[in-house]
Amino acid sequence: QVQLEESGGGLVQAGGSLRLSCVASGGIFSDYAMGWFRQAPGKEREFVSYISWSGSYKYYADSVKGRFTISRDIAKNTVYLRMNSLKTEDTAVYYCAADRAGLGGRVSDAYDYWGQGTQVTVSS
């Protein structure tokens, strides 16, 4: 059974950095696109970033562009999200997701598997 597990969340001051990790198990993910989404209390889940199966293509939401960096280690079945210059507005539960079709995208429905999420809290 495919499982995704996020880690690396926590409490950080505005302007600080965190690196989130998502480890996939139960399948072969070398050709999966991987994405990150987030959801703040009372808000809809929103797209953050995704990366192609090869890692050659990356895409970011405008709200995080220039501050966040997505990467992956195919051998370790792991995708990362490096978050710099964090703002209080970045506070949310962050979820990783896998698209077995390898397409990814900005729409949640494109993804087949989801992790449980990891909390990121940015204080002022």
99-112 residues labelled b (16+ CB within 10 A) or e (exposed): bbeeebeeeeebbe
pLDDT in tens, 69-97: 999 998 898 999 999 999 999 999 999 99
Q: What is the mean pLDDT of the chain?
A: 93
What whole-number distance in Å separates Cα of residue 35 and Cα of residue 48?
8
pLDDT of residue 102: 79
Determine how many CB atoms are found less than 10 A away from the CB of residue 80: 20
pLDDT of residue 39: 98
Highest mean pLDDT among 22-36, 91-105, 108-122: 108-122
**Local confidence band at 32 (pLDDT 50, 70, 90 cut-offs):** confident
